[in-house]
Amino acid sequence: MSQSRTPAPPTHDRKRVTTNVMRGCLGNLVEWYDWFAYATFSIYFASVFFPEGNQTAQLLSTAVVFAVGFLMRPLGGWLLGAYADRFGRRRALTLSVTLMSAGSLTIALAPGHDAIGFWAPTLLVLARLAQGLSVGGEFGSSASYLSEIAPPGRRGFYSSFQYVSIVMGQLAALAVAIGLQNVLSEDQLHSWGWRIPFMIGAAAGLIVMYLRRAMEESEHFEREQARKAVQGPDARERKGLIALFTEYPRQLLAVFGLAIGGTVAFYTYTTYLQKYLVNTAGIPKSTVTVIGFAALFVYMMLQPAVGALSDRVGRRPIMFAFSGGCMVLTVPLMTLLGRTGSPWVAFLLMTLALAFVTGYSALAAIIKAEMFPTKVRALGVGLPHALVTATFGGLTEPVALALKNAGHENLFFWYVTGCVGLTFLATLLVREPSRASHLDAAQSSAAAPQPSKTAPLS
């Protein structure tokens, strides 16, 4: 492409947009299937990788390893986010799914503690480190890609499919669990059956590598590359972390605040709750798997509806509904869930909680992507989100299980409430993101793509 020409503004043919959304989300689905397969099947392989002990202690060990994977997410958010901003969303998304698939293959083939002792949990940790790096880079690149290819006025709707694919990945993991629970005995699942889902994830990752290579690149990114080409190699412009921290510090703080409560609530009600229903409520594992599958299916279907609603009423009212509702309901809901022995009551309460969490998850991509320009969007979305998930999301299960072990399980409910309260405060302090979107600014200036020197807090 000539350096004197600039790509035309993006075309938003519905079929083209839908096709690229599907390609992006399919890869996202497989990555999150791999990620959640660990959480779903940890109740079966905890005793394989760690020495014999009581169930809570073994679950706590696997939860700590789950948290270790989160420690790599900031590094992934930084490295793969910067990679996506420099080399393209498509290449970054292909690389992230490769790392995830490698981690799943390692877990599937790793010998147990009885066979290799200390090296068993070591291999498990290494696999989770690779997967943490992958997921850390996936979120920012995926959020940027889906937000950039969506047409104006429909960005909330299309970008909400990021969490549709995330939840669909978890549903796929649960579907595999339900199938295996009906085909294999409890002893077989604990012995070797838990390895099957990780083999499935590794194989699916190879397919997605091919599919993602065929994705169209974001036109926002292509215009940004053309703008840099016009300026030439001698142009003085801040890049990467330097640009992010010096030009957009308020946006970074906003993303931190908005993500804290949503991240903790999401992992509480999608990941930890299944262990909570087994370990505290005493509901059988197989029944809990069905409850989780049904509630998550409803939750997944709510994402596009809430995303579309945000296109009409704005992002802030939806975020207020999420944070205000969860602040009020978390303690009573978790208390009731721990005391019920009824699968139907557990399903209804879990679904109610997830309905409020939808107010965050449906907007998690777009509300952050709107705050940053193309040159730092993947990094600006991915790095702060990964830092929050590492410090808050990754500690959700260990904090909950440690408090249960100490005999103060109810304190965890207040911990979740406090985290959601921080998101409520952040929502009070930000302006409506959809009214000052960098995505719209980039499109309107496509004919003369000079970057704005100001960075309004969205």
Residue 199 has pLDDT above 80, yes or no: yes
Residue 361 lies in domain: 18-218+245-444
- Looking at the domain assignment, is residue 344 inside a domain? yes
pLDDT bin (cut points 50, 70, 90) of residue 224 is: confident
CA distances from 383 to 76, 116, 133, 315 (A): 8, 36, 11, 21
Average the pLDDT over 315-340 and give the result.
Answer: 94
pLDDT bin (cut points 50, 70, 90) of residue 317 is: very high
Percent share of the chain, pLDDT over 70: 87
Cα distance between residue 301 and residue 351, in whole Å: 12
Sign of CA dihedral 67, 301, 307, 373: positive
Query: What does the pLDDT read at residue 453?
Result: 37
203 class by beta-carbon count within 10 Å (0-12 exposed, 13-18 middle, 19+ buried): middle
- Do the beta carbons of residue 381 and residue 74 sit within 8 Å? no
- Looking at the domain assignment, is residue 65 inside a domain? yes
- Looking at the domain assignment, is residue 4 inside a domain? no
- Looking at the domain assignment, is residue 11 inside a domain? no
- Looking at the domain assignment, is residue 2 inside a domain? no
Query: What does the pLDDT read at residue 55?
Result: 61
CA atoms within 13 A on the CB side of 432: 10
CATH of the domain at 354: 1.20.1250.20
Among 215, 204, 205, smallest CA distance to 91 is for 215
Place of tokens 């809990």: 288
CB neighbour list of residue 257: distance below 8 Å, 6 or more residues apart? 422, 423, 425, 426, 427, 429
- Looking at the domain assignment, is residue 296 inside a domain? yes
Cα distance between residue 32 and residue 100, in whole Å: 9
Three-state SS for 50?
Answer: coil
Say which DSSP state 375 is in. G
CB neighbour list of residue 435: distance below 8 Å, 6 or more residues apart? 314
Q: Total structural domains in the chain?
A: 1
pLDDT digits (tens, 9 = 90+) for 31-82: 888 877 887 787 787 777 776 655 666 666 777 776 677 778 889 889 998 8
Q: Of the given ranges (74-78, 168-172, 246-250, 448-452), which has the lowest mean pLDDT?
A: 448-452
- Looking at the domain assignment, is residue 251 inside a domain? yes
Higher pLDDT, 189 or 112: 189
- Looking at the domain assignment, is residue 29 inside a domain? yes
Residue 206 has pLDDT above 60, yes or no: yes
Residue 5 has pLDDT above 50, yes or no: no
Place of tokens 């992002």: 315
The amino acid present at 361, given as its one-letter code, is S
Query: What does the pLDDT read at residue 235?
Result: 56
